[in-house]
Structure 1
């Protein structure tokens, strides 16, 4: 599916000016391909209010391909089921930031690398307050082959249309993406 908008620029400010002019609170479905420097990030907002007997849903997703297919991590907000799992021995990574350690479940194959990903104050700030999300590296099939491509993905169970909140999420996503690609 082709994106609604392609935003191109060398800096976050350049691409965000284009996005801010395009996004408004009345959007129900929006897709943008953000080309900032050498990176490409997809932004997908989908809001369906449902109707009749159907329940609605809303999602916001940032996604970008990665070059390292070996590193893995997954993070989500801790819930009641996770608390029970921890009681019975489920392990998650402690990254050394109490405000995140107390509210996130993080799994990884490289603890030191994941600690570095979450060390930036803007990343800590976003993930201290964000709810109903999953964040991590996912593998997707490459069309027309047996290969898989790694993607950094932030999936939020909310249709976020507030431009300032979207920009904060985008910035934190880019900080993590930069650290992954170093």
Structure 2
């Protein structure tokens, strides 16, 4: 599945060039992708089509296979209408004590101390805040929506509606993922 914009530039090919990543051509129903080696991790950028009956939605996703040293899990997403309704009806989230950030994002985790420590990092908060559409989590599902991963395998995952074709936005996402990996490693949550 070719990811091209109006002027026939393949976003993933261009992004691979800009980041010294590897371009991987898609096949069958898989989109083209960019794979970036960072320290001991492989950061994979691609598009994914979610099907619901006859209708589909294109998504951009970033996936990094990780090994957890502990069972630290989290999900951070930008507030939206549905999320505000969930909160109104009692859905719980964690507040980190920075009012603007707490108002803009819903934060869920199985370890309140660790998520607050992770988000004390101003660079990470700024990179999160710079994303117009943000859903980032540690998942036990392959590629977020595929099969459940084998026991003790996880992925740091990001997804957004639509196909992101802006290289600068993709570079900003790459910076966010790298910063999260570094901080999670420093916190001894991942190898």
User: Is the structural similarity TM-score above 0.5?
Assistant: yes
TM-score normalised by L of structure 1: 0.71
**Equivalence for 1:65:** 65
Q: Is the 8 A contact 1:15 1:36 kept in 2?
A: no
CA distance in 2, matches of 1:60, 1:15: 19
Deviation at 1:63, TM superposition (A): 1.0
Contact 1:58 1:158 in 2 (8 A): yes
Q: Structure 1: how far apart are the matches of 2:55 and 2:156? A: 29
Runs of 4+ displaced beyond 3 Å? 14-17, 54-58
Mapped to 2, the partners of 1:38 and 1:16 lie a distance apart of 20
Task: Find the residue that maps to 2:141 and give its secondary structure.
Answer: strand
Classify 1:17/1:84 alpha carbon distance in 2 versus 1 (closer, same or farther; 3 Å).
Answer: closer
1:155 matches 2:159: yes
In structure 2, stretches of 5+ residues that fail to align are 1-9, 24-30, 187-191
Q: Deviations over 1:66-110 (max 9, x none)?
A: 211611111212222322332232210001222221011111011
Question: Which 5+ residue runs of structure 1 have no aligned equivalent?
Answer: 8-13, 23-28, 48-53
Cα deviation code 1:28-77 (max 9, x no counterpart) = x4302211222211111358xxxxxx866432211111211611111212
How many positions carry a matched residue from both structures?
158
SS at match of 1:45: strand
TM-score by length of 2: 0.68
